[in-house]
Amino acid sequence: MPERTRVTLDRDEALDRLRRRGGRVTQARRAIIDALAEAGGHLTADELVRALEQRDALVHRATIYRTLDALERVGIIEHVHIGHSPATYHLAGSSHFHLLCEHCGTVTEIPEDVFAPAIARIETQWGFRARLSHFAIVGTCAACSAREHH
């Protein structure tokens, strides 16, 4: 099994990046960053609403949606479509892709360089600049594959 590479920011890195890019660290922004960092990422907007309610963070639902958009515009968070679910959000970091196991639902983050040759070929051969990070690549994880073979 390959070594797991950290591809997302941690809480303090996200707050530092926000400040460096001229963003204010408001109560709502801090609460969302904290919730995503604690969860390890991949929360839908509705899951974030529930997580903030559980933390007694007084952030209105509409503010959460506006804050998600604002944080994504300045590169603090990213969203990805995993399967047929609503967009999920996670703290940004180095460019990476998501692998979704269609059997158990596990999401694995892998570094962008794994797919660099394929992306380069797509651009060279078809003149198309692929942005694969917006969607998950669906397949079967190692654990489920092992179970299928036993």
Do the annotations mark residue 141 as ligand-binding? Answer: yes
Tokens 């309610």 found at: 53
- Beta carbons of 37 and 14 less than 8 angstroms apart: yes
Half-sphere exposure of 53 (CA within 13 A, CB side): 8
* Nearby residues of 70 by Cβ (< 8 Å), 6 or more positions away: 23, 29
Residues found in the chain? 150
Q: Cα–Cα distance between 150 and 147 in angstroms, integer? A: 5
Do the annotations mark residue 104 as ligand-binding? Answer: yes
Residue numbering of the annotated binding site: 101, 104, 141, 144
Residue numbering of the annotated binding site for Zn(2+): 101, 104, 141, 144
